[in-house]
Amino acid sequence: MLTTVSTSRTNSVMAAAHGNRAALNGALVQGFHSAFMIASGLAIVASLIALVGLKKVRLTDEELSHEMETEAEGFPSMPGV
């Protein structure tokens, strides 16, 4: 998706410059800039969804202790440790 945005913007700027090779560097920068801005927006939206959408789990001391014991039982015993 980002490649499409970048290429589309670059082609648009080059078309506006009537294919002038001197405009290529500026066109590439504008294309990459557009793709970077969209990627930044997507990252911000994903962060907001993660912050709002994920529920917090609060364990009591007893539940936490039981969770740690259960997890420790899953590891093989190591002699000498």
Q: Among residues of the chain, what percentage have pLDDT more than 90? A: 59
Which residue type is seen at 78? Answer: M
Handedness of CA 28, 29, 34, 39 (dihedral sign): positive
pLDDT at 78: 65
Residue entry with tokens 């500026």: 26
Residue 55, token pair as written in the block:
């529920």
Residue 67, token pair as written in the block:
């969770």
Over residues 31-59, mean pLDDT: 91
